[in-house]
């Protein structure tokens, strides 16, 4: 039988905590979670055998025994680093060598593959198919076009486009001096104030939308977006078709620039973008819209931007704490690293059997062993 609606990993974690605490008998507990007793015992056994909640995630169906399999402790360390850092075999090999673990890149590749970590999918399964949402503001696609070399010597423009998936309405087109966090944060806030909040934003895995320093890909920008109650999604690696609409927009923009000529300055670029955006939304017929224009299908969102979003309602079983500016948690005299992108954010914590579970909003972030202070990221 299926798990009831919520993240599957979170449901399994809650189930195991309740089962181990003896708060209810197994039959009643399985009924509460909408699963069979067989499924309940399966996940309880997996936790007890592994000693970690991260083992409750879906795993590939691979053989349990192999004569050439790497030592279990070494393999677990590889898995920990892969989940935590998202690095490939070459970088992991160098990192492990510092700890006295010497494995070939081929061995590391096999470990990554058989533990289901071949594709670092972060907190959301990447979209790989073309689609169209049914209503405006269900999804915005946001992406940087390749930099434009301006006529002014040594100057470049980094165009940032924000496109409504349903209507193809260009809610934002900005000529930025770089892809750094602050300019993007500023124009995204402006767009939210003008058009309200979408339900979800889709980006690629480039800066500042995605970070390679944590398994979930969190950045300060994605945390800002999530705090507005907007869900984040990221396209698959090397799969630009995921954001086909905004990629097609970039091509149209380049064609227009080829026709009118490259701007000289960043200010000229902004002026050109304003004219292009007006024509794109109000005048240019779009084949996918039956030769209509995006403005005919778009309406602003009713969800307003909140300068001071309300705190997330963590469940009463969790303690709530604020991380320090380095993304660490002060817990019972210990300083525990959680995630640098969550600096100064409020998180929920759950202590259970010498482990601490850390959650940001509805996302499980990290499991930390309190005796060693070693953490494993939920991927």
**31 and 90 housed in the same domain:** no
Q: What is the mean pLDDT of residues 262-266?
A: 92
Confidence of residue 239 (pLDDT cuts 50, 70, 90): very low
Tell me the torsion sign for CA atoms 83, 87, 93, 99. negative
- Domain hosting 158: range is 140-296
**346 and 245 housed in the same domain:** no
Of these ranges, 233-242, 343-352, 370-379, the one predicted with the greatest mean pLDDT is 343-352
**151 and 232 housed in the same domain:** yes
Report the percentage of the chain scoring pLDDT > 90.
49
Asked whether the predicted pLDDT for residue 6 surpasses 80, the reply is no
Q: What is the mean pLDDT of residues 323-336?
A: 95
**160 and 289 housed in the same domain:** yes
**229 and 283 housed in the same domain:** yes
Asked whether the predicted pLDDT for residue 191 surpasses 80, the reply is yes
**174 and 231 housed in the same domain:** yes
What are the Cα distances from residue 122, in Å, to 16, 234, 358, 363?
23, 8, 16, 11
**255 and 347 housed in the same domain:** no
**158 and 232 housed in the same domain:** yes
- pLDDT attached to residue 82: 83
CA nearest 175: which of 265, 246, 249? 265
pTM above 0.75, yes or no: no
Contact 318, 333 (CB under 8 A): no
**Helical residues (DSSP H) of the chain, grouped into ranges:** 8-21, 26-33, 37-50, 72-85, 89-98, 105-114, 181-195, 220-227, 244-260, 266-282
**227 and 276 housed in the same domain:** yes
Residue 1 lies inside a defined structural domain of this protein? no
Confidence of residue 60 (pLDDT cuts 50, 70, 90): low
pLDDT digits (tens, 9 = 90+) for 102-122: 898 888 888 888 887 875 433
**39 and 89 housed in the same domain:** no
Q: How many domains would you assign to the chain?
A: 4
Asked whether the predicted pLDDT for residue 376 surpasses 50, the reply is yes
CA nearest 121: which of 219, 233, 252? 233
Taking the C-alpha atoms of residue 357 and residue 349, their distance in angstroms, rounded to an integer, is 5
Residue 2 lies inside a defined structural domain of this protein? no
Q: What is the mean pLDDT of residues 325-340?
A: 95
CA nearest 21: which of 321, 347, 350? 350
**249 and 151 housed in the same domain:** yes
């Amino acid at each position: 039988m299926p798990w009831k609606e919520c993240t599957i990993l979170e449901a399994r974690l809650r189930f195991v905590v309740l089962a181990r605490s003896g708060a209810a008998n197994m039959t009643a507990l399985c009924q509460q979670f909408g699963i069979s007793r067989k499924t309940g015992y399966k996940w309880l056994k997996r936790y007890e055998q592994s000693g970690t909640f991260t083992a409750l995630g879906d795993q590939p169906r691979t053989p349990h025994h192999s004569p050439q399999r790497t030592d279990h402790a070494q393999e677990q360390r590889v898995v920990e680093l892969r989940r935590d850092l998202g690095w490939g075999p070459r970088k992991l090999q160098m990192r492990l060598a510092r700890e006295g673990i010497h494995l070939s890149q081929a061995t590391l590749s096999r470990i990554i593959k058989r533990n289901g970590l071949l594709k670092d999918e972060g907190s959301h399964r990447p979209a790989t198919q073309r689609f169209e949402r049914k209503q405006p503001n269900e999804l915005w696609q946001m992406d940087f076009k390749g930099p434009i070399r301006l006529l002014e010597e040594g100057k470049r423009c980094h165009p940032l486009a924000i496109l409504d998936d349903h209507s193809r309405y260009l809610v934002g087109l900005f000529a930025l001096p770089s892809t750094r966090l602050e300019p993007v944060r500023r124009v995204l806030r402006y767009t939210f104030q003008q058009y309200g909040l979408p339900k979800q934003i889709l980006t690629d895995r480039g800066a500042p939308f995605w970070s390679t320093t944590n398994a979930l890909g969190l950045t300060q920008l994605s945390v800002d977006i999530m705090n507005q109650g907007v869900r984040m999604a990221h396209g698959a690696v090397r799969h630009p078709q995921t954001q086909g609409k905004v990629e097609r927009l970039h091509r149209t923009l380049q064609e227009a620039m080829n026709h009118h000529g490259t701007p000289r300055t960043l200010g000229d670029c902004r002026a050109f973008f304003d004219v292009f955006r007006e024509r794109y939304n109000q005048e240019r017929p779009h084949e996918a819209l039956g030769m209509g224009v995006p403005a005919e299908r778009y309406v602003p969102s009713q969800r307003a931007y909140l300068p001071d979003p309300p705190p997330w309602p963590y469940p009463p079983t969790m303690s709530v704490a604020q991380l320090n500016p380095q993304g660490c948690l002060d817990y019972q005299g210990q300083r525990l690293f959680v995630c640098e992108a969550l600096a100064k954010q409020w998180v929920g914590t759950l202590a259970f059997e010498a482990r601490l579970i850390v959650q940001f909003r509805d996302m499980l972030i990290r499991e930390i062993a309190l005796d060693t202070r070693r953490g494993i990221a939920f991927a």
